[in-house]
Amino acid sequence: MTANIEILSVGNELLIGKIPNTNAQWMAKRLTTLGLNVRRITTISDDIAEISNAVKEAITRQPAFLVTTGGLGPTFDDKTLEGIAKALNTSCEVNEEALRIVEEKYKTYAKERELEKIELTPARVKMAKIPKGAKPLPNTVGTAPGVTIKHDKTTIVALPGVPPEMKAIFEESLVPVLKKLAGDVTFFETSLGVSGLMESDLATIIDKVMHDNAYVYIKSHPRGQERTPHIELHLSTTAKDSTTAKNRVSRAIIQITDTIQAKGGKITRFKAKKQSNS
């Protein structure tokens, strides 16, 4: 059975539309290609109570991993770790390993700027305050370390909101663990372009093909208007080996192509993509 993952995006800037949630999009795609199942993406404000409630709610669903992004920095509104601590009925404290990571970063910054030192102010030490029992994850791109803590069946991982930092910690610290969780699997996807049929006409066709091909997921994406429709159909599956994955999708493609063409639609084939968890 594919392990379930949830993503929790933290940041007022996301809720007011100042920036798009590219972190969640990138992470969802990366997790999917690893053979894992993203069940939910939640976006909340920089509020301790909101974060706490969202974490507690997610834990009740027992995902294998709950990954948060945003709110690990030195400013007053970086409250993710306090929210996680509140959800787990504990508190944040200065972690010696996390403090060493932060301190080493500022030593590097001082050397790069030819300064004698950069003082560890309370705002900078704040980045080393993590929930009791948690472990820091090295941040090779930025300053604030990531954080991981296990609660019952769920591993909570907090990552920075700055995309390059988030991606670096994800790839270096999470991917090896996630690959073991997913096992040796292959994610395979391809797309078909459909013209001449409205999306509403395709709905029953998609339902039928997915029913007959239980392991293949098909999603329609309108690229035109209903009156002059052009639809992209995205087909994907996760299997233990590439041959099985390709065969599953190929069978679904044959069935859906025959049905669409019989109804007067036209098909354009896009390039297939395979992602192997190795």
pLDDT tens string 27-44: 999 998 888 999 999 999
CB 249 within 8 A of CB 216: yes
In the block, tokens 């990531």 appear at 146
pLDDT at 224: 67
- Using CA atoms, how far apart are residues 158 and 7, in angstroms rounded to an integer? 10
CA 96-102-106 angle, to 5 degrees, is: 140
Question: What 3-state DSSP class applies to 236?
Answer: strand
pLDDT at 230: 87
Structural tokens at position 100 = 């060493």
Structural domains of the chain in order of their starting residue, each with its CATH number: 4-182 (3.40.980.10), 186-276 (3.30.70.600)
Rg (the chain; Cα; Å): 22
pLDDT at 182: 86
Q: What is the pTM of this model?
A: 0.81
Q: Which of 112-116, 153-157, 195-199, 218-222 has the highest mean pLDDT?
A: 153-157
What is the mean pLDDT of the segment spanning 210-228? Answer: 84
Say whether pLDDT at 16 is over 80: yes
For 274, residues 6+ apart whose C-beta sits below 8 A from its C-beta are 186, 187, 188, 242, 245, 246
- Span 62-83, pLDDT tens digits: 999 999 999 999 999 999 999 9
Say whether pLDDT at 225 is over 70: no
Say whether pLDDT at 140 is over 60: yes
- Span 50-64, pLDDT tens digits: 999 999 999 999 999
CA 252-255-258 angle, to 5 degrees, is: 140
Say whether pLDDT at 2 is over 80: no
More confident residue, 61 or 199: 61
Handedness of CA 9, 12, 13, 18 (dihedral sign): positive
